Structure 1
Amino acid sequence: MSRLFPALSLRWVLLAIVVVLVGCSHHTDHTYQGYVEGEFVYLGSSQSGTLVQLSVARGQAVIAAAPMFSLESVDETAALQQAQQQLVAARAQLADLQTGKRLPEIKVTQAQLAQAIANAHKAALQLARDEVQFRVGGIAKAQLDDSRASADSTAAQVRELINQVDVARLPGRPQQLSAQAAQVDAAQATVAQAQWKLDQKRVHAPAAGLVYDTLYRVGEWVQAGNPVVQMLPPQNVKVRFFVPETAVGGIVLGRDVTLHCDGCAADIPATITYVSSQAEYTPPVIYSNENRAKLVFLIEAHPSAADAIKLHPGQPVSVSML
């Protein structure tokens, strides 16, 4: 964004000034000129929306997980509620398949079975009487056949209803249960996705730090990925300085240095965290063949988080080797 260009220009100006000072001084006391730089964290959302709440202001110190800003989330809230209801329905259907028919439905089938048993018993008694009558010539063969068919039919109905009672107690087939379980898993994934999108509309501080700038105002439309808040955690504050090639050989990672700045109550300890492996020439604005030929190396040092809050990006400092 256009608001960042001045900061970048300032950085290059400071770099040029520091390198000039390095080329012009002899560092007889192993003290070098440097400047403070901040590695800013730009907080934005993966979703687009209207900025409805900005919870911080420039210069405010915040703690980790503090709310920073919120975007309009009506659509995401509705999508989450819909996904949650679909999950409830999928779980209920799975539970229904796992338990078989309801008890009142089973009792209806059991009552039909009791009636069929009574009919079968009655038909069996009638068949027994007709067989006796047929042997003595009391009835015709057709009547005996009717009685035998009735007894067989009622007995078959009893067997059918017994099986229906057993089937009513069974859960759904394994394939049905597996398919419905997959539907539940899919509904859970949809809920998680909807919850994630809703959470993206409310952004919190990833760490404690200082709010360096706010880039939008409430009511403005924020495109997905655009930063809304620029913050600087104290662990992202570092000091950059340059040393001549004659001194870089004795500088190693982890070496302690001391930072001195105008207005600081006391010197600030720091630790070297980076030594450039590539040399740089001093700028040609130094009108000296001797200075132009000198090589310098970039060094970075980090103060502790407690001391970093005393420093400000762009602030010039003196770095003394211990």
Structure 2
Amino acid sequence: MKSFFPANALSLLLAALALAGCQPHRTAAYQGYLEGEFVAIAAPLAGRLEQLAAPKGTRVTAGTELFRLEQGAELAALREAAERLRSAQARLTDLRKGQRPSELAALEARLTQVRTAAELSGLELARATKLRETAVLSDDDYDRVRLNHVTNTTLITEIAAQLVTAQLGARPDVVAAAEAEAAAAQAALDRAGWAVAQKSQSAPRAGLIADTLYRAGEFVAAGAPVVLLLPPENLKVRFFVPEAEFVAIKAGATVLVTLSGRPTPLEARVSYLSPQPEYTPPVLYNRENRSKLVFLVEATLADEVARDLHPGQPVDVTLP
């Protein structure tokens, strides 16, 4: 069969097809944006905002004071708790000591006196025993001397026990109760110190003060965020990939991020792949509807790069 194409036209068509095959393949660019995951800094206690140390737009380092609420009531409670602890510890120390030195000295003197009396009554009993053997001393007089010596000997045992008890201090159960009271006072002091510390909040990490939600003098409810902090590691690249190309992207893979005004793309690492599509048609997944599905992918940038970027910036993401 004779061809309907002129020879020169066929040559031009073949050349065009060959030229098209030699051109490099352009990688598709995925559209996305930068998003920040803000850290809301709040105090667990309520109070009037006394000082806002870091205004909006300030870059802070970890440990920098961000704001401070009024602390009058908490400081008063701290002083009260400290005095209660001092009182409980003094009472516990006193119970462990036993009686005062002057009381102990009186008991020791009384013990010496009773020992002397017992020694004297012992000599009298010895003489009375000899006299009774010779029938010079009556039985009544002998019994009187003997019982006096027994009384003095018993007093020695009694006062010696009193002296030992006075040196020991209070009973164990009383000391245990005082120890528990001192421990409770220490816990109250710790709680009061914690309350004072919570009225002043510092940056947990370095980052940018993205926003401040209160002004000095305003009342802040307990747990209400006062400062929004954006650490550089919390800035992420979010982009959307069609269903047909989603399987080619793996977690940990490197992607190139292009922003307006930057001559060279930035490298980012894929950190998250959405398990669900962003758009689901209300019909079965036929070939036509599957082409409409896109999946969310997140990637992270190096901290030194992310600190100069801002949430909301549009980006184009390509695979290297």
Quick check: TM above 0.5? yes
The offset of 1:271, in angstroms, is: 0.7
**SS at 1:114 equivalent:** helix
Conserved 8 A contact 1:240-1:301 = yes
Deviation at residue 184 of structure 1 after TM alignment: 3.2
Q: Which residue matches 1:125?
A: 123
Question: Highest Rg: 1 or 2?
Answer: 2
What are the equivalent positions in structure 2 for 1:40-119 lying under 5 Å apart?
Answer: 40-119=38-117
Matches within 5 A, 1:167-316: 167-264=165-262, 266-281=264-279, 294-316=292-314
Q: 1:38 — aligned with what?
A: 36
The separation in 1 between residues aligned to 2:243 and 2:318, in whole angstroms, is: 17
* SS of equivalent to 1:281: coil
Q: Bigger CA drift: 95-104 or 75-84?
A: 95-104
Deviation at 1:64, TM superposition (A): 0.6
CA–CA distance in 1 between the matches of 2:112 and 2:274?
Answer: 94
In structure 1, list runs of 5 or more residues that go unmatched. Answer: 1-26, 284-289
Q: In structure 2, the residue corresponding to 1:297 is in which secondary structure?
A: strand
* CA distance in 1 between partners of 2:169 and 2:319 (Å): 79
Superposition RMSD in Å: 2.6
Contact 1:281 1:293 in 2 (8 A): no
Q: Could you tell me whether the CA contact under 8 Å between 2:38 and 2:229 is conserved in 1?
A: yes
| 8 Å Cα contact 1:276/1:298 also seen in 2 | yes
Instruction: Give the match for residue 159 of structure 1.
Output: 157
- Whether the aligned pair in 1 keeps the contact of 2:125 and 2:146 (CA below 8 Å) is yes
Deviation of 1:237 (Å) = 0.4
TM-score by length of 1: 0.81
Distance in 1 separating the partners of 2:32 and 2:166: 84
Q: 2:285 — aligned with what?
A: none
Distance in 2 (CA, whole Å) between partners of 1:173 and 1:37 is 67
- How far is 1:294 from its partner? 1.4
Please identify, of 200-209 and 99-108, the stretch whose mean Cα deviation from structure 2 is larger: 99-108
Partner of 2:21: none
Residue type matched to 1:162 in 2?
A
SS at match of 1:272: strand
Separation in 1 of the partners of 2:99 and 2:262?
80
SS in 1 for 2:275: coil
Q: Which amino acid is 2:205 matched to? A: A
Change (3 A) 1:221 1:312: same
Match in the other structure for 2:142? 144
Deviates more, 1:202-211 or 1:188-197: 188-197
**SS of the residue aligned with 2:276?**
coil
Letter aligned with residue 305 of structure 2: D
> Does 1:319 pair with 2:291?
no
TM-score where L is the length of structure 2? 0.81
For the 8 Å contact 1:69–1:202, the answer to whether it is kept is yes
- 8 Å CA contact retained: 1:242, 1:297: yes
Say if 1:282 and 1:141 are closer, same or farther in 2 by CA, change over 3 A.
Answer: closer
Matching residue's letter, 2:110: Q
Give 1:280's aligned amino acid: E
Tell me if the contact between 1:282 and 1:296 (Cα under 8 Å) persists in the aligned partners: no
Contact 2:244 2:291 in 1 (8 A): no
Q: Larger deviation: 259-268 or 205-214? A: 259-268
Q: Tell me, what secondary structure is at the counterpart of 1:199?
A: helix
Aligned equivalents of 1:311 and 1:34: distance in 2? 14
- Percent identity (aligned): 42
